[in-house]
């Protein structure tokens, strides 16, 4: 039987959570249309044993790749060449799919041919579950199930970036572009969300909440305390992505080029935000930020990029990066606290007015 969907599951020391992940797949009514690739990245716990036990019970669905530790990107690089599905999606081993929705997804993609498929996802913490859709101010601008030219979608300006949890790619697209992910460091899922966008021609949005993203795990890479310790890795990923942009920007359409410029500006803005807003004041070192600023300022000047970092609430107009360049210090502590309070109020109003 032709496999519709390959699911790559990077796994490192996830023996306790891997069963929930795999159960959400093998219990699907159409599980026989799945090609599940569990890539054990040198785990030191019993992750490999768990994966093999599932492969023994579901040999037509699950395959196991066991390899030395090489971090996240190496697992994608190991699985992609042997993926058998028409489409391919990544599922982290501490997350899971909504099983009934997975069946709907498989039924839907059996009659769709697009380079990129976009689905909703839930972000789940200990006390809340929030559904994320690709909409603006509560408006969903695209017709579900319709295949769009990607340039037309990007030209609209509604979408500033894609996230891994929402993305499914046509497998052959990734093979034709020679997709490779950086190995040896974390946070390379941003490459998965970016590089194929240089080449994809078509996109389809589906009204399905498939991916369930678990934030309630100690040591989760997006936890604020982990992010603060990983700025060096975030910069390395950004450096690699900037090099990719420089090597391929000449091949982009005008629309794609403008969109990519904003994507990379936003990427750099995130790094400045980590230093100038998110980092605890006691951990902030002006010399570290200056070193980063010295590295990225020439790149921005060469490409004509201007990076602005305003408060999230859009009410206070003091701009962080300009303030840094002028004073070589962060905002006063009292102003940061006031800004944080305004952020909370504005976000509460936004949720009340626009989130359904």
Tens-digit pLDDT profile for residues 61-72: 999 999 999 999
Q: Is the pLDDT assigned to residue 137 strictly greater than 50? A: no
Cα separation of 168 and 170, whole Å?
A: 7
The answer to whether 78 and 196 have CB atoms below 8 angstroms apart is no
Both 29 and 153 in a single domain?
yes
Both 43 and 188 in a single domain?
yes
Both 256 and 162 in a single domain?
no
Note if the pTM is more than 0.85: yes
Of 214, 239, 271, which residue constitutes the final position of a domain?
A: 214
CATH number at residue 90: 3.90.550.10
In a domain, 279, yes or no: yes
The single residue listed with the structure tokens 């604020």 is: 224
Total domain count for the chain? 2
Both 344 and 240 in a single domain?
yes
pLDDT value of residue 224: 58
Both 183 and 312 in a single domain?
no
The answer to whether 41 and 70 have CB atoms below 8 angstroms apart is yes
Both 191 and 268 in a single domain?
no
In a domain, 230, yes or no: yes
In a domain, 68, yes or no: yes
Both 202 and 281 in a single domain?
no
In a domain, 239, yes or no: yes
Continuous segment of H or E residues that includes residue 169: strand 167-170
In a domain, 139, yes or no: yes
Q: Token pair for residue 43?
A: 């785990």
Both 78 and 182 in a single domain?
yes
Cα separation of 147 and 141, whole Å?
A: 13
Q: Is the pLDDT assigned to residue 3 strictly greater than 50? A: yes
Instruction: With cut-offs at 50, 70 and 90, classify the pLDDT of residue 232.
Output: confident
User: Which of 200, 199, 277, 295 shows the shortest CA–CA distance to 238?
Assistant: 295
Both 231 and 183 in a single domain?
no
In a domain, 219, yes or no: no
pLDDT digits (tens, 9 = 90+) for 281-337: 888 899 999 999 999 999 999 999 999 998 877 677 778 999 999 999 998 888 888
The single residue listed with the structure tokens 């952020």 is: 343
Of 214, 239, 256, which residue constitutes the final position of a domain?
A: 214
Both 158 and 13 in a single domain?
yes
The answer to whether 14 and 94 have CB atoms below 8 angstroms apart is yes
In a domain, 330, yes or no: yes
Instruction: With cut-offs at 50, 70 and 90, classify the pLDDT of residue 168.
Output: very high
Both 194 and 241 in a single domain?
no
Both 180 and 311 in a single domain?
no
Of 214, 241, 265, which residue constitutes the final position of a domain?
A: 214
Q: Angle between the 286-303 and 231-248 helix axes, to the nearest 10 degrees?
A: 10
- Residue range of the domain that includes 311: 224-354
């Amino acid at each position: 039987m032709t496999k519709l969907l390959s699911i790559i599951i990077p796994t490192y020391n996830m023996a306790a959570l891997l069963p929930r992940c795999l159960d959400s797949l093998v219990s699907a009514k159409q599980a026989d249309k799945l090609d599940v690739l569990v890539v054990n990245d040198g785990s030191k716990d019993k992750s490999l044993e768990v994966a093999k036990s599932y492969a023994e019970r579901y040999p037509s669905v699950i395959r196991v790749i066991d390899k030395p530790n090489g971090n996240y990107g190496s697992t994608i690089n190991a699985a992609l060449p042997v993926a058998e599905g028409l489409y391919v999606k990544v599922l982290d081993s501490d997350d899971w799919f909504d099983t009934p929705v997975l069946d709907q997804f498989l039924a839907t993609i059996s009659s769709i041919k697009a380079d990129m498929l976009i689905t909703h996802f839930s972000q789940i913490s200990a006390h809340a579950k929030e559904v994320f859709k690709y909409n603006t101010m509560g408006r969903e601008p695209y017709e579900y199930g319709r295949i769009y030219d990607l340039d037309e979608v990007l030209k609209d300006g509604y979408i500033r970036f894609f996230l891994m949890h929402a993305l499914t790619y046509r497998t052959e697209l990734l093979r034709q572009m020679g997709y490779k992910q950086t190995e040896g460091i974390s946070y390379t899922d941003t490459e998965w969300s970016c590089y194929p966008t240089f080449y994809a021609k078509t996109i389809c949005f589906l009204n399905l909440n498939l991916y369930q993203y678990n934030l309630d795990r100690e040591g989760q890479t997006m936890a604020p305390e982990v992010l603060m310790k990983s700025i060096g890795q975030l910069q390395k990923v950004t450096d690699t992505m900037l090099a990719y942009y420089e090597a391929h920007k000449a091949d982009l359409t005008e629309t794609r080029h403008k969109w990519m410029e904003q994507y990379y500006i936003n990427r750099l803005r995130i790094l400045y935000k980590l230093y100038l807003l998110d980092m605890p004041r006691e951990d902030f070192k002006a010399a570290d930020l200056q070193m980063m600023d010295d590295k990225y300022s020439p790149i921005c000047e060469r490409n004509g990029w201007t990076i602005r970092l305003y408060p999230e609430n859009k009410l206070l107009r003091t701009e962080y990066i300009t303030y840094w360049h002028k004073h070589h210090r962060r905002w006063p502590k009292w102003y940061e606290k006031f800004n944080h309070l305004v952020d909370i109020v504005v976000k509460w109003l936004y949720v009340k007015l626009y989130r359904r």
